A and B are shown apart, each in its own frame.
Chain A
């Protein structure tokens, strides 16, 4: 069976995916209200962006758990096993560099946005910064763990 971290990543992605459908339905609702009733909403566009953006962020973790991220294999496939192992380690190292930079550099603004519950101050005034900024940091942190889990899952020989 899969480990708890992978189960978390997969389940979170699966539970958030329906938000895409919500984004579609409210967008159609907006089109109908505006065209047929001349009554556009002030919330549909902003909520569509918020829902989609939240999915975009978390989708990175979901794809990582499924090891779907794209790479060029033309050289690495022909490398001897020790060299391939070195490339795998390099991959983990660079992933850490990128993800930890997001966590380290992003957490203070994320915390500021969350603790002060930053809103957009538009007519809808959604808490988009307060939700998305922490979500980016937390997802990057989860991706750090998921990378290590993937590495253990594949064994040291890959």
Chain B
């Protein structure tokens, strides 16, 4: 029987819990396939930079990726609308339901196939939490807040609420928050942020989060995918679905641990009231429409998710 030994690079940093979960996924695939498909997990940046990851999969330097739509933005804004529809969801399982049963995976596969790759599945790490130096109790408090917001959508939404998006690069966020160059930042989930010690320089955190829920993905070079026998294709697909569950449940547990001990570490959690969440989502949906105008594929992805969000009563 033919065996396949593949290399996937992830976006996650070498020592993060996310990297550990990605490695577990690779181990699972090897076990489930009886060693016929092995995947070597490569940490973020070890072969190519995050922005060049997708190109490396497309050209076949890497067999696949645990990447993200936001990093393919330059090719088509549709990748971003699939990877993180800013402000849309409250929990990962809602988007997972759209992906599995609401037409999501068909659209994702169409989009990625047009660029020489196969979209195996999406993986969530949870709602991101905003660390801030000032209390932000609702949309009104966003006015004048200097917040690092690299993604186009989040900074557009922030601007509409009178905030001041700053585009400081990742490596300078911590010192900039510490010194007050920034009031707040877009980063990871609550536990990812406290792992890096953000609570020491920003004593407030918006939790549970609402502004962004980026999905990472498992995407494979199209020729490599086509070369797999059907049973291995199915094993990889199901393993990816379980990877998605594993990632957000384990991070949810980490987040809740932090939430329990927030007071002890001098961190004040701010839970936005429903009406502010709705106001944020309404403004966000205007921004999605604006961005979707750029590409027919983005239009389809935004429309499909908007329909689904209406169906489950979020808008």
Contacts and interface: CB of A to CB of B under 8 A. Distances in A.
Q: Do A and B bind each other?
A: yes
A121 B146 contact: no
B80 A121 contact: yes
A46 B167 CA distance: 8
A40 B181 CA distance: 10
A84 interface: no
B65 to A, nearest CB: 16
A121 B74 contact: yes
Contacts, number: 50
A56 B291 CA distance: 33
A85 to B, nearest CB: 37
B109 to A, nearest CB: 21
Contacts of A116: 75
B34 interface: no
Which 5 A-B pairs give the minimum distances between C-beta atoms?
A: A121-B73, A118-B74, A123-B155, A40-B166, A45-B167
Given A40-B165, A121-B152, A113 B144 contact: no
B169 interface: yes
Contact of A42 (B75, B80, B155, B181): B155
Contacts of A119: 74
Contacts of B167: 42, 44-46, 122-124
A91 interface: no
Nearest to B294: A121
Interface string B131-169: 000000000000010100111100110010000111111
How many interface residues does chain A have, given as a range? 20 to 34
Interface string A97-137: 00000000000110001001011111111000100000000
A123 B165 contact: yes
How many interface residues does chain B have, given as a range? 20 to 34
Nearest to B172: A45
Contacts of B166: 34, 40
Contacts of B86: none
A121 B295 CA distance: 13
26 contacts: A34-B146, A34-B164, A34-B166, A38-B144, A39-B164, A40-B164, A40-B165, A40-B166, A42-B167, A44-B167, A45-B168, A46-B167, A108-B59, A113-B74, A116-B75, A118-B74, A118-B75, A120-B73, A120-B74, A121-B74, A121-B80, A121-B152, A122-B155, A123-B149, A123-B152, A124-B167
A118 B167 CA distance: 19
B55 interface: yes
A129 B152 CA distance: 16
B77 A121 contact: yes
Interface in B149-200: 149-152, 155-156, 159, 164-169, 181
Contacts of A123: 149, 152, 155-156, 159, 165, 167
Given A45-B169, A123-B159, 10 more contacts: A40-B165, A40-B166, A45-B168, A109-B59, A116-B75, A120-B74, A123-B155, A123-B165, A123-B167, A124-B167
Nearest to A130: B74
Contact of B146 (A38, A108, A109, A125): A38
Nearest to A44: B167
A25 B149 CA distance: 23
B139 to A, nearest CB: 18
Contacts of B165: 40, 42, 123
A109 B55 contact: yes
A125 B75 contact: no
